[in-house]
Structure 1
Amino acid sequence: MEQIPDSAPFISDLLSTAAGLKVMVTSRAVLHLYGEHEFDVPPLEVCPPDHASSPDYVSQFPAVHLFVERARAVNPAFQITEDNTATVARICARLDGLPLAIELAAVRTKVLPLPMILQRLAGGTGQSLTFLRSTAHNVLQRHQTLHDTLDWSYELLDLRQQCLFRRLSVFLGGWTLHSALTIAAAEDQATTLDDLLEQMEALIDHSLVKRMSLEERPLDENPEPRFHLLETIREYALGQLGACGEREDIQRRHATHYLALAERVEPNLSGREQVRAVSMLVREQDNLRAALAWAIEHDEVEIAQRMCGALGRFWEARTQFQEAHRWIDAALKMTQEIPPAVRAKLLMAASRITLWEIEYEHSRELAQEALVLYEAVGDMAGKTWAMFHIGDTWHMQGEYTLATGYLEESLLLQREQKNWHSYAFTLSRLGAMATLQGDFPQAWTYLSEALTLQREYSEPGLLNVTLVYLGVLALTQGDLIQSSTYMREGLLLAQQTGNRYMLAIDLIAFGCLLGTIREPSYAARVCSGAEALFESLNTALPAAYRPLYDAYLGSLKSQVDETTWEKWWTEGKALSQEEMSALALTASEATGL
C-alpha cells in the first residue's frame, strides 16, 4: 500500500463513511490512522546453524522449507542432505529469514554450489545485496534485487530518518536509545531524546528497525530497551554510510563511546556489583568487539590498549581466556607511545590471562614490567596489584617462600589502602598455601577471616575460591560434613555466575570428596568431566594443587581395576556441565552430608 500516494486519507474517508467497514492493508509502513491495529509479519523462523543436526530436523523450519522449494523450482535435482544441511541452515540464518532474500539466494543454486553462495553472502561487503538477483519478467523492478528493495524503502524516509538509519549500521548486537543519541546524532546539539524517539519510531514503522524483546523482570531491574537491524538491512545501511562519506567519523564515535562505557563499568567488575556489571557488558559485547576491531585496524593505539585494560576482568569473569588473549596480543603489538599507566593496566590484563593459561613465567614477566611502570608514575594501588600478582604466579607454581614474601607485602599495602576486597583475596591465597604446606591452624585463621570479609565485599567468583579452599581444608582433616557444606555452596555459586573455570575447580574438589564418602566411580566421572572442561578453556589445574589432587585420585583409583576406572573416566568426559553438577549435588545429598 505504501506505493500508492495519499492512500491513508482515502482509507480514512472510507472508514468514516461506512461505519461497519474494516480494511486490511499490507504495507512496509503503517498508515498512522486512528483505530489502526498493527500486526507485524516477522521473518521466517531459521534453524540455528549449530543445531543443524539432520535434514529432517532442519527441513521443519519455514526458512529452510522455502529455500528448498525455490531451489527445486530452478534445479529439480536439488536435495537437502547430510552433507549440505549445515550450509543451507547458515545461508537462511545469514539472510535473517527474509523470504525475498531466501528466494533470490535459492535461485543461485542453478549455477553455484551452496558453499560458494554462503561465501558470497558472508563477506559483509555489501556485495551480497546485488548478488541476490532475479531475472523473472513478472517480478516488480524493486523486487529483482534485495538492494533495489532496500533502496526503495530508504527513499521513503525523510532526510533526518535516512541519516539516523545509515548511522545505526555501526552497531552490532543492538543499541540503546542513549547510545543512539550519543553516536548517531552527536553533532546536532538540538537533537533531543524526544526527537530521536520520533525518528526511531518512523524506522520501526517502515520495518527497518526492530525492537528487541525485554526480559520478564521487575521494572527496576530491566535494562534499557534495545533495538537492532537485521544483518542484511545493516549491511545495506553500512553501504549508505560509506557512500555519504560518514563511515570513519561515525565508527570513531562508536569506538569512543564504548571505550567510555567499558571504563565506566570497570570499577564494578570487582566486588558485589560484579554480576550486574558483567551483565551490562555481555549485552554490549558485540559492540565492544566491533570497537576493538576498528581501533586495531586503524592503529588507534590508545583506544585499543585502554579498552583491553578495562575489559580484562570482564574476560576473566566470563572465562573468555582465548578471546582475551587474541585482543590483548594484538593491542600489545601496537607500538605507538602511550601513557605509562595505560600500558601498565594492559600488561596486568595480559598477565592475568596468561596466568589462567598456566604460563607462570611469562605471566610474572608481564606483571614485573607493569610494576616498574606503576612505580614510575607513583600509582600505589597499581603497584600493590602487580605485587600481589607476582606473588600469585609463585603460589600457582608451588614456590611458597617466594609467593609469601610478595603476598604478605601486598597484604600490608591493601590494609593501608583499606582495599578490603583485595585484602580478603590475599588472605585466601595465604590460607591455601598454608593448607598445602600442612599448617592447618594457620590455614583456618586466614581462610575464616577471608570468608567473613568476602561475604561483605567480594564478588561471587572470589568467594567461591575461598569456599573451595575451606572445603579442601576440611576434607584433608577428615571433616566430611563441613567439607560438603563449603563445596556445595561453591558449586552453586559457580552455576549461578556461569564461571566455567570455577565450575571446573569446584568439580575437581567435589569429585575427590565424593570418591571418599561414596565410591571411586563418582571421583572418576566428575574429575574426568572437570578436566575436560579445563581443556576446553585451554587451562588446567594449577601446578601447586596437582600433588594433592593426584594423591587423592591415585588412592581412589587403586581401589578398582584399570579397565573399570578407564570406563568411568571415559563416561565422565562425555558429561555436560549441567550433568556433572547434577551428579555431584545429587550424590552429596544422597549421603546426608
Structure 2
Amino acid sequence: MKVGTVVASANNATQLSSFIGREYDLVELRRILRNTRLLTLTGAPGVGKSRVAMELAKKEQRASHRGTVVIDFCAPEMAALEPAGMVEALTATVEEQVAPVLRRDAARTEEQLILLDNCERVLEVCGPSVVGLLFRFPGLRVVATSREPWRLSGEVVYRLSGLSLPSPDAGDPLDGCLRADAVRLFVDRCTAVNHEFALTEENAADVGAICSGLDGLPLALELAAQLCRALPVAEIRKRLPDRLTALNQGWRTADARHRSWQAALQWSYDELCPDEQRLFRRLSLLSGVCSAEAARTAYTDDPVLAETVPDLLIRLEAKSLITSAADGTEESPDFEVPASLRGFGQQKLAACGEEPAVLDRLTTWMTEWTDELRAISPPPRTALGRLARERHTIHRLLARLSATDDERQLSLSGALAAIDTLSNEDAGETLDIVRNALQVTKSTSARRGHALEGALSLACWHGHDRLALELVAEAVTVAGQDCDEDQRARVLLLAGIAKEMYADRDDAYADLRAALEAARRNGNAVLAAMCQGHLARHLLHRGHPGPAADLLAANLATIRAAAPPEQLSAVLLTAGALALARDDLADAEQLFHETLASGHGPGLYDGVLGLALCAARDNSFERALRLMASTENRPAAALRLFPDWRRQLEDTHDIATRILPKARAATALTSGRGLDLGQILLLARDAAVPDAATAEDDVLTAREWEVLRLVMEGLANSQIAHRMHLSVRTVETHVRSIRTALGLRSRAHMAAWAARRCTKAA
C-alpha cells in the first residue's frame, strides 16, 4: 500500500497482528463507498476504527490495483503542527501524491482513495479543505476515522460497535463463545503471549464474561489479553472492575494513548468541553440505561441549565462516549455510558467530589416520580415501562440508602418490586431490599404502604408463600389506616389473591369483595373491573360458570385496555380456564396465547400449562407432555389459582405414558425439560423447536431462529423484545449474531434468507 507523508506508528504496529471479525462491516462499508465520496467511521474509544479503515483500504486497493494515501493527524509530525500547518500538510500531500494520478488518468475516470485517520482534533480546521479537495478532484474519495462526524455536506457516517459477543442465552458457555468475534480476538491475542492458552469448557464462562464486560472493544480486549502472560482468565475476570489499573500493558510501539485503557479514555475526555465533561462523569454514576429525565436531574437542579442537556447528550453520543439505547422512545430517549467507559467517568466524578450531591438529587427526583405514579390506580402501562427503564438507577440509589433510615427508600424499593413483579428473574434479592427498607425506616412513615404493596405483589406472583402471607397482615392494617380508597382497594385485591393462592379461599373471596366496594366508592372503573375479573374465578370454582362468564364478558375489555400486566395475565388465565371448562378449545388456546403475550414473566408458564391441557383435550399427548415438562420448576401461579389443574395434568401424564410408546413419551419429557425460555415460547406457538441432533448441525440456535422468525414478520427489536420477554439489548445481540453467522447485510436479507429456508423445509 502506498502511504502518504504522515503515517501513524500505531497503524504500522497494528498491521503486524491478525485481523479478526468485521466481515459484515467490511461488506457494508465497501457497498457504501461505491456511492459516496466522504465516508467517516466513528465509534467509541478502542473500537478499532483505524484498523477497520486500513482493512477497507486494503480491499479497495486489491480491487482497483491502486494505492491509498494515508494521513494520520495523530502522528508526531502532524501533531506538532499548528492548525494552519495541518491544512497545508493535507493539501500538499493531495497535490503531490493524489493529484498527479488523477490528472494522468482523467480520461479513464479513475478514482483515488485517501484515508484520513484520527480526525477528531482537526474537524474544524480541516473540514473546509476536505470539501474543497473533493470539489477540485472529482475522482477523489475520502475515508476518515474520527470519534465524531465532520458534519459536512455529502458525508456518510458509519458507526462501529464492539465485536459480536457470546449469546447471553446460550445453555453451554463454550458453544456461546465459539461464534463470538470478541472471543476469537481475545483468544488469538492470549495465544500470542501464552502459547499454552486455549479456550476450553472450564474457562469459557470466564472468557465470555471478560469479552462482554469489555463491550467487545478490540483495544480493551487486547490489553486484557496481555495479562494472560501471567494470570489465568478467572483472575483477569476478577480484576475487570478495576480495569483502569489492570489494563495497562499495551504495545511499546503503540501511541501513548493506546498503551493503557486509562490513557485511551483520558485522551477522549480531554477533547470534551467542560459542560460535556461534567455531564459525562455524572452519567457514569448511573449503572445501565438512563432516561433523558435522569440525565437532566444528574446534571443540575437549575431549570435553565437543564434545558442544555438534550444538546449535550447529542454531542456526547456524536463523540461516541455514550450510546443511544433502543429501549427508549422518540419522546423519551434513553442513553447509556458503556460499561467499559463507566469506571473512568466515576473516577473523575469522585475526584471532583460531586457524587453525594448528584445521588441525593436523583433520589429526590425518583422518589417524587414514583409517588406520583402510585397515586394513579393503576398506573398506565407506558408509565410502568418507563419506570422499568430506570431500574438500574433505582437499584443504585437503594444501594446507597440501604444503611440509612431515609424513608425515601420505601418508595423506591416498592417501585423496584413493582418492576420485578413482571420479570422472570428470581425475586429473592429484591425482596431482601424491600424487607431491609421496612426494617431500617420508621414504622410510622407515610411511605410504608408503598413498600408493603410492592413486596406483597412480588412475593405473591413469584411463589414466596410465607412472606406473602406475612406481608398481607401488615399491608391490610396499613390500608385500614389513613389512606385513600384506591390504595385500600389495591391492597385488599392483593391480599385476596395471596390468600387464594396460599391460605383460605373463603377469606380471599371476602377481601376481593371488600376491594370491589372500595374501588366503587372511589369511582375507579379499572380497579373495579380487575376485582370482578378475579371474582369470576371464584364463581367458576363454586360451580357457577354462567355467571362467571357474564362477569368476565362485562369487564374483560376494560382489563385488556388498562390493567397492569400481572393482573391482565391472571384474568386472561381465568377466561382461558372457563373456555376450557366448556370445551371451547379454540377460544381457550387463543386466551392462553394472549396470556403468553401479556408482558408478565411468570404468566408465561401459566399460559404454557393451559396450552398443555388444550393439547391433551385434543389428544396431542406428545405435545402435552413436552409442554408440561418445560414448566417444571418454573414460577407458575396457575396451579395455585386452579388447584384442580394439578390433577388434570397428572391424569394427562398417566394417559399419555400409557398411550404413547415408551420411547416417544420419554423423549417428549426429556426434550421438554431441556428447553430454555425462547424454546418454550417456540413450542407454545407451535413453531418447530430443533432437537439436539438438528441443533448441532444448524448454524443458528433455537433462540436465534425465534428472533429471525419475528424479523420475518416485520417486528422491530423493541417489539421482538416484548414478545420474547427479553431486553432490547439482548435482541440486538441476537440480530448481530445472526447477521454475522449468515453473512447477511440487513434485516431484509435476514428475512429473505429465512423465507427461502422455510420454503425448502416445507
Residue in structure 2 matched with residue 131 of structure 1 by the alignment: 246
TM norm structure 1: 0.83
CA contact (8 A) 1:460 1:493 kept: no
Q: Give the alignment partner of residue 141 of structure 1, picking from 256, 259, 267.
A: 256
Q: Give the alignment partner of residue 370 of structure 2, picking from 262, 272, 279.
A: 262
RCO comparison, higher one (Cα < 8 Å, 6+): 2
Give the drift of 1:10: 5.6
Give the drift of 1:503: 2.5
Q: Distance in 2 between matches of 1:72 and 1:576?
A: 33
1:207 aligns with 2:320: yes
> 1:317–1:16: structure 2 CA closer, same or farther, 3 Å change rule?
closer
Residue in structure 2 matched with residue 573 of structure 1 by the alignment: 673
Give the drift of 1:100: 2.0
Moved more, 153-162 or 206-215: 206-215
Q: Distance in 1 between matches of 2:141 and 2:524?
A: 68
Paired residue secondary structure (1:175): strand
Residue in structure 2 matched with residue 512 of structure 1 by the alignment: 613
The CA deviation string for residues 100-129 of structure 1, in whole angstroms up to 9 with x for no partner, is: 2222111111111111011101x2xxx311
The CA deviation string for residues 26-59 of structure 1, in whole angstroms up to 9 with x for no partner, is: 4445556666654444333333455485768735
Give the drift of 1:550: 0.7
Q: Distance in 1 between matches of 2:424 and 2:176?
A: 32
> 1:282–1:360: structure 2 CA closer, same or farther, 3 Å change rule?
closer
Moved more, 23-32 or 298-307: 23-32
Alignment of 1:338-357 (within 5 A): 339-357=444-462
Residue in structure 2 matched with residue 191 of structure 1 by the alignment: 305
The CA deviation string for residues 37-96 of structure 1, in whole angstroms up to 9 with x for no partner, is: 544443333334554857687355443333233223322222223322332222122122
Give the drift of 1:246: 0.7
Q: Distance in 1 between matches of 2:126 and 2:531?
A: 75
CA contact (8 A) 2:480 2:488 kept: yes
CA contact (8 A) 1:395 1:544 kept: yes
Give the drift of 1:242: 0.1
Q: Distance in 1 between matches of 2:544 and 2:259?
A: 78
CA contact (8 A) 2:413 2:437 kept: yes
Q: Report the AA paired with residue 161 of structure 2.
A: P
CA contact (8 A) 1:305 1:346 kept: yes
Q: Distance in 2 between matches of 1:283 and 1:525?
A: 34
Identity of aligned residues (%): 24
Residue in structure 1 matched with residue 472 of structure 2 by the alignment: 367
Paired residue secondary structure (2:335): strand
Q: Give the alignment partner of residue 205 of structure 2, picking from 78, 83, 86.
A: 86
Residue in structure 2 matched with residue 290 of structure 1 by the alignment: 396
Residue in structure 1 matched with residue 634 of structure 2 by the alignment: 536
Alignment of 1:348-497 (within 5 A): 348-360=453-465, 362-397=467-502, 399-451=504-556, 453-455=558-560, 457-459=562-564, 461-476=566-581, 479-481=582-584, 484-497=585-598
> 1:112–1:411: structure 2 CA closer, same or farther, 3 Å change rule?
same
Residue in structure 1 matched with residue 412 of structure 2 by the alignment: 307
> 1:418–1:110: structure 2 CA closer, same or farther, 3 Å change rule?
same
Give the drift of 1:145: 1.6
The CA deviation string for residues 249-290 of structure 1, in whole angstroms up to 9 with x for no partner, is: 11222333333443444466837x32x233323333222322
> 1:238–1:544: structure 2 CA closer, same or farther, 3 Å change rule?
closer
The size of the alignment, in residue pairs, is 564
Q: Distance in 1 between matches of 2:327 and 2:667?
A: 46
Residue in structure 2 matched with residue 557 of structure 1 by the alignment: 654
Give the drift of 1:344: 1.9
Moved more, 28-37 or 130-139: 28-37
Q: Report the AA paired with residue 165 of structure 1.
A: F
Q: Give the alignment partner of residue 432 of structure 2, picking from 322, 326, 331.
A: 326
Q: Give the alignment partner of residue 351 of structure 2, picking from 243, 257, 260.
A: 243
Give the drift of 1:240: 0.3
Q: Report the AA paired with residue 244 of structure 2.
A: L
Paired residue secondary structure (2:316): helix
Paired residue secondary structure (1:376): coil
Moved more, 112-121 or 49-58: 49-58
Give the drift of 1:398: 6.3
RMSD: 3.5
CA contact (8 A) 1:176 1:227 kept: yes
CA contact (8 A) 1:464 1:490 kept: no
Structure with more helix by fraction: 1
Q: Report the AA paired with residue 292 of structure 1.
A: L
Q: Report the AA paired with residue 305 of structure 2.
A: T
Q: Report the AA paired with residue 397 of structure 2.
A: A
Q: Distance in 2 between matches of 1:100 and 1:361?
A: 50
TM norm structure 2: 0.66
Give the drift of 1:197: 4.3
The CA deviation string for residues 224-246 of structure 1, in whole angstroms up to 9 with x for no partner, is: 33332221211101100001111
Q: Report the AA paired with residue 509 of structure 1.
A: G
